[in-house]
Chains A and B, each alone.
Chain A
Amino acid sequence: MGLDSLDVFLRTVRGDLGLDIAVPEGADTALGELPGWDSLNLLRLVALLEESGHRVPVHRLLEARSLREVHTLVKEYG
Chain B
Amino acid sequence: MTKGPDRLRELRERGLLEKAYDRVPALLADEDGPGDAAAAGRLLAALDHDAVLGHHPHTPVVTVAVTGQSTVGHVVDPLRGELARHGMLLRAVVGEHGTYLRDLTDPAGELRAAAPDLTLCLLDAETLFSQVPAVWGPEDVERAGEEALDRCAALAAEAPGTLVLNTVPLPRSCSHQLLDHRSRARLGAVWREFNARLLRLTESADRLVVIDLEPLVGEGGPVTDPRLARHAKVQLGAGLLAAYAREIGHLARAVRGRVRKCLVLDLDDTLWDGVLGEDGPDGVAAAGTLRGEAFGAFQKCVKQLASQGVLLAVSSKNDEGLVLEALASHPDLVLREPDFAAVNANWEPKDANLADIARTLDLAPDALVFADDSPAERAQVRLGAPEVAVVALDAEPALHVTRLLADGWFDTLRLTDEDRARPGEYRRRRERGALRAGSGSYEEFLRALEVSVGLGPPRPHEFARVSQLTLRTNQFNLIGVGYTEAELARRAADPGRLLLVARSADRFGDNGLVGAVLGSIAGEVLRLDGMWLSCRVLGRGVEQACLALLLARARELGLSAVGARYVPTARNHRARDFYPSCGFTPADPGGSEGSADGPVVFRHDLARLPQVPAHVRITETPGGGLADGPR
- List the interface of chain A (C-beta within 8 A of B): 15-18, 39-40, 42-44, 46-48, 51, 57-59, 62
Contact = CB atoms under 8 A, between A and B. Distances in A.
B631 interface: no
A62 B231 contact: yes
B74 A40 contact: yes
Nearest to B2: A51
B38 A43 contact: no
B77 interface: yes
Question: What are the 10 tightest A-B residue pairs by CB atom distance, in nearest-first order?
Answer: A18-B46, A58-B227, A40-B73, A59-B231, A18-B45, A58-B231, A62-B231, A43-B74, A16-B42, A44-B42
A48 B9 CA distance: 14
A57 B76 CA distance: 24
Contacts of A57: 227
Given A43-B73, A44-B77, A62 B45 contact: no
Contacts, number: 42
A18 B228 contact: no
A18 B74 contact: no
Interface residues of B, number: 20
Interface of B: 9, 13, 38-39, 42-43, 45-46, 71, 73-74, 76-77, 227-228, 230-232, 234, 238
A6 B38 CA distance: 25
A57 B231 CA distance: 10
Nearest to B41: A44
B76 A40 contact: yes
Report whether over half of chain A's contact residues are helix, strand or loop; otherwise say mixed: helix
Nearest to A20: B46
Nearest to A63: B231
Contacts of B38: 47
A47 B40 CA distance: 13
Nearest to A57: B227
Given A43-B232, A44-B42, 11 more contacts: A15-B9, A16-B43, A17-B45, A18-B42, A18-B43, A39-B232, A40-B74, A43-B234, A47-B238, A58-B228, A59-B227
B99 to A, nearest CB: 15
Contacts of A18: 42-43, 45-46
B42 A58 contact: no
Contacts of B77: 44
A17 B42 contact: yes
A58 B233 CA distance: 12
A43 B42 contact: no
B235 to A, nearest CB: 13
Contacts of A43: 71, 73-74, 228, 232, 234
Contacts of A47: 38, 238
Nearest to B73: A40
Which residue of A15, A48, A58, A59 has the most chain B CB atoms within 10 A of its CB atom?
A: A58
Contacts of A62: 231-232
B232 A58 contact: yes
A71 B38 CA distance: 23
A75 to B, nearest CB: 20
14 contacts: A15-B9, A15-B13, A18-B43, A39-B73, A40-B73, A40-B74, A44-B77, A48-B42, A51-B39, A57-B227, A58-B227, A59-B230, A59-B231, A62-B231
Contacts of B232: 39, 42-43, 58, 62
A42 B76 CA distance: 14
Contacts of A39: 71, 73, 232
A46 to B, nearest CB: 7
